[in-house]
Structure 1
Amino acid sequence: MKLLIDSKREKVLFAEASKEIIDFLLNLLCLPLSAVIRLLNKDGMVGSIGNLYQSVENLSDTYLQPHLHKDVLLKPRAPISSQQFSALLPAIGNNSANHNAEASFYTCHNSYSCGYHVTCDNKTLCPQCLNAMSRKVTYVGKKVAEDVFPNNSGFVKEVVTYMVMDDLVIQPMSTISSITLLNKFNVIEIGALKEKVVELGMTQGVDLLKASLQSKAVLTRVFLKNNAAI
């Protein structure tokens, strides 16, 4: 990702980003809250939601409904995920298991008496007997598999370069919009602008997630060390 920085104010004006970066940022919207808590470390979170997470961790199974497992709350599965997700954030436990190209379907072990309910998640409870629908069945054909696991990964197309603002506003990159933004930021001395190419890996991915919940100057906070407190 390439940053355009106002060196006088030590502020990122905007970034030039590829499809993979945009897919990662949009994936943040798919993360369940408890997954966010685990990624950011519950002890270091702002507010009290981390205490709620820890309360569930400490709660004895004796107090839970007999058909309920803690992982439903502590390790929920994101409803949508891009292939780039696992490359930029640490794995989120077993529930972030890879959705491979082969579609897997499951039914109840008592399907003859409960009816033929089918799911893609082997932890789903049967609506009739409330047991896990863990009996694997195979779908013959390609259409459903392609619909469930499409080959076109991610959320946005790769035909253009994207612009990411310091507050994570995203839009397609264009020369006109770049000039307009320089005027909006009241940039008078072009010589004060500098480019910086940054790598986005696991550490930066978690930092971006954390900063997005705490700041309106996300890119500045993550990639300019002197502004870590913004």
Structure 2
Amino acid sequence: MASSASSSETIISLKLLVDKSSNKVVFAEAGKEFVDFLFGLLQVPVGSIIGLLRDNDLAPGSGSLGRVHESIQNLDPSYLLPNLTKGSLLNPKSAFLSSTLTPPLLQKFVSPNPEIMPNPWRGGIVFPTTTGHVTSIPYENTTEKGYVRGVVTYMVMDDLTVKPMSTISSITLLNTLNIKDVSSVQEKKVEIDIKKGLELMQFSLYSTTVLTDVFLGHRE
């Protein structure tokens, strides 16, 4: 699916296949942009995700990690070790190495001063790691943002399971879900901006029907 971007906002298009009888998402047809966003969430520290959800008045799931985040906010700084600050715990650095490699909807998590230096030995880019070793990525692999190839259409399940899409896999899934009448399945096109992206983050913390919850309004 294509994505479009203005100077102020990135929009990702997504096509949902909805079972009308149950009013649930069967799966979504997604392009590289949406899959990059989902995979990129694993690169964002939990503290940053919870903080961002709170800043946008979204509950950080039904578990207890939100309470941990709140505890740090309320803790007197004198209880922290001298080399730590509340900010380092509440807003830790992300694992993104460069804004040129980061999915558009996750740009705000990029460190403003990533440690990147040229690698004269392999003609690529070297990224220092916490172990002291380096990882080299050839220049030809750094021209496209994100993680997956853009020439493939991906199937994203309601629980955010991702796999390459094919006609056989689609038919198999419909049979598995016991959907025998194809006419009961309809397409629904949706758009994902930063607000919807945050809602996807929120529901992914406790729901296994994330696409249904966010786009069809099944809220607890």
Q: TM-score range by the shorter chain?
A: 0.7 to 0.9
Partner of 1:62: 78
Amino acid at match of 1:37: I
CA change 1:89–1:153 in 2 (3 A) is closer
Whether 1:44 aligns to 2:59 is yes
Gaps of 5+ in 1: 105-138
Q: Relative to structure 2, which stretch is displaced further, 150-159 or 5-14?
A: 150-159
CA distance in 1: counterparts of 2:68 and 2:185, whole angstroms: 45
Instruction: Give me the whole-angstrom Cα distance separating, in 2, the residues matched to 1:202 and 1:99.
Output: 23
Relative to structure 1, the CA distance from residue 181 to residue 76 in structure 2 (aligned partners, 3 Å threshold; closer, same or farther) is same
* TM-score normalised over the length of structure 1: 0.72
Q: Aligned partners of 2:195, 2:83: CA distance in 1, in Å?
A: 37
Superposition TM-score, scaled by structure 2 size: 0.75
Distance 1:47 1:181 in 2: 31
Q: Does 1:24 align with 2:33?
A: no
- Highest Rg: 1 or 2? 1
Residue in 2 aligned with 1:6? 19
- Asked if 1:91 corresponds to 2:108, the answer is yes
Structure 2 unaligned residues grouped into runs of 5+: 1-13, 128-135
Number of positions where the alignment pairs a residue of Structure 1 with one of Structure 2: 188
In structure 2, the partner of 1:35 is 48
> What do you get for the CA RMSD once the two structures are aligned?
2.6
Following TM superposition, by how much is the alpha carbon of 1:99 offset from its aligned partner in structure 2, in angstroms? 6.3
Deviations 1:119-175 (A, max 9, x none): xxxxxxxxxxxxxxxxxxxx6956335946833321111121100011111110101
CA distance in 2: counterparts of 1:140 and 1:10, whole angstroms:
53
Identity over aligned pairs, percent: 41
Q: CA deviation at 1:90?
A: 8.0
What aligned pairs does 1:1-230 form with structure 2 within 5 A after superposition? 1-41=14-54, 44-45=59-60, 46-80=62-96, 82-84=101-103, 87-88=104-105, 91-92=108-109, 96-98=110-112, 103=116, 143-144=124-125, 147=136, 150-225=142-217, 227-229=218-220
Q: 1:90, 1:19 → 2: CA distance?
A: 16
Once residues 155 and 113 of structure 2 are traced to their aligned partners in structure 1, the CA distance between those partners, rounded to angstroms, is 29
Give, in whole Å, the separation in 1 of the partners of 2:184 and 2:71.
Answer: 50
Distance 2:19 2:29 in 1: 15
